[in-house]
Chain A
């Protein structure tokens, strides 16, 4: 509980200071939040259902490119364009989810990878639409509905991203604490048993993959007007690997952990890459260390620390609420 309060305070602070932040910091924070959303979307699959995906870049890329093409060719208001991009991605995600969930474990991971790489290859095939290796540039931020131009500016866009992240977080929290989430947990712990209890685990898996891709594509859709540019690298497997790292290092299965992982990663990458050439090396080592020694990730470590330093609960009510956090 304490951890969440601390987090809420930090978030409120960031939101309050956004209008006065220097441009560069605001850009960095916005990008960090987008990645946080991307990482959280993967957590639904990896952390809650133990579906390891090495192709989540596909979700990101789909959202990014769909939104790019929609904004470029149809000039819809910005928020509508983003939503439209997500809608397209969700539609495409359904057959992907259906095919991938035919397998489990490593095969599943390889299938997701195959789809992401296929997406990458398709971008080159249809280069008249997608610009091939050059990507698509000059993507506009059209005025919002009813001539609202708030989101076109840096600060406005930051609030849009923050809002999407918060809304997605709420959605995910509701999902994982609902009966649906309980089944996911069942699949995570022992799929055979869950199936034996009468649940159509395949359908649940498809659903969680589609939701994960949907939110991942939202992150991609938010990225496009942010950068004004999309390129095939967005689909490349290194992106999938990176977001997986964010989830694990942040703390899989906690929703908040991966957000922190994503934010942490972007911040560190920006700051450290200026300071030292050894950054990727340290990064790889940190990742391995977390996997082996601290699989609960940063958030897991933090909440453990905060819980152990919490004062003795006064009564049963408090005890119950702290146990639930």
Chain B
């Protein structure tokens, strides 16, 4: 007797439960809410430990700020979730971590890659992974040429040729005639120095020599002596992270700035801080200067200062821009799938912290303006700051399509 009641009851309960569940699941509103709850995952395989860890730390802090700023509303009604992975600046590790992100975490949006060699390593795999990769800071000019370019890759940032071009245009009217270049001996460094060589000659100046230092080099005494003895009046630098820091530290000890005017392809606030007073007077092409006075940048800089009590560095600005562009493309495509994002991002124009940016269709390079900055003392901030002395329009700065040269741009 009892058993049959139980059976009847349980069967009834089962049917009721099933119909209720089906009704719930079928309801479109609830379906949308269910989808909306799932965050959009963005993979950040970046340098958390290693020689370029400073840059990775900037990537992460900007991501955290963006996550906070976007809140629960996020993009397409879904919050953003960043998945941070440590590549140590190692290309092989970047491939491995990115593959994990795709295969284990089902995350197919990749950003925050710091080192150009890492980008070179993962780009060939994007199609196989069905993943989308936007660069915020990889400067190697070759990434947007036929040799390496793949459909699922976009570069939002200023590249090394663009930085060199900006500086060379400015130096056309500068008093220095003879230059020497010093760069880190890997993809980005060679691209930067090579581009500078091409551009400085195009404006009629002389490159006396170019020096490449091994990646991870610590003692720059030999090279500093070489710079001093070259007889050049100006020195072009393509160094980042720990290398830049060591170089500036030791250059101060040799009083290098009294003998040579320093120009850098990247002006990093972190390096200015290391260099201290000796940074004042340094000229460079800046990938992002927090002093750029446009509303979008003001908003970002204020939020950044409030959160971190520090002015944003170039990586912060470029990362913010890259994410901004990515989100705009996601909104436009109404999807996070790579094959829909690609056409959405092509020809996309946004008003960014660096001014108006156009994501070029022909080679997926973002057309950015060129900024020349001079490091100056500041009454407002506790450290010297980059003051913008010249801005070049993006058409003058961005190289020919699929190229690192400026034959048609003139």
Contact = CB atoms under 8 A, between A and B. Distances in A.
Interface of A: 22-24, 27, 124, 132-135, 137-138, 227-231, 233-234, 270, 273
Contacts of B103: 22-24, 27
Sorted nearest first, the 10 A-B pairs with minimum C-beta distance are A24-B103, A138-B124, A24-B104, A134-B117, A133-B186, A23-B103, A137-B121, A229-B121, A134-B187, A133-B215
Nearest to A234: B92
A132 B186 contact: yes
Interface residues of B, number: 22
B214 A124 contact: yes
For A137, A138, A230, A234, which residue has the most chain B Cβ atoms within 10 angstroms?
A: A137
Main secondary structure of the interface of A (DSSP, over half): helix
Given A124-B214, A132-B186, A134-B187, A27 B92 contact: no
Interface stretch (B93-101, B168-176, B375-383): B93-101
A138 B153 CA distance: 15
Interface in B163-216: 185-187, 214-215
B148 to A, nearest CB: 8
B90 to A, nearest CB: 6
7 contacts: A24-B100, A133-B215, A134-B91, A137-B123, A137-B124, A228-B125, A233-B92
Contacts of B125: 228
A24 B100 CA distance: 7
Given A134-B120, A135-B91, A137-B124, 11 more contacts: A24-B103, A124-B214, A134-B116, A134-B186, A137-B120, A137-B123, A227-B95, A229-B92, A233-B90, A233-B92, A273-B86
Nearest to B129: A23
A228 B120 contact: no
Contacts of B92: 135, 227, 229-231, 233-234
Contacts, number: 53
A227 B99 CA distance: 10
Contact of A135 (B86, B99, B121, B123): B121
Interface in B69-123: 86, 90-92, 95-96, 99-100, 103-104, 116-117, 120-121, 123
Nearest to B93: A233
Interface of B: 86, 90-92, 95-96, 99-100, 103-104, 116-117, 120-121, 123-125, 185-187, 214-215
Nearest to B124: A138
A134 B143 CA distance: 13
B139 to A, nearest CB: 13
A228 B125 CA distance: 8
Contact of B185 (A22, A133, A270): A133
Contacts of A132: 185-186
Contacts of A138: 124
Contacts of B124: 137-138, 228
A124 B184 CA distance: 13
Contacts of B117: 133-135, 231
Nearest to B120: A137
A137 B120 CA distance: 7
A191 to B, nearest CB: 38
A132 B189 CA distance: 12
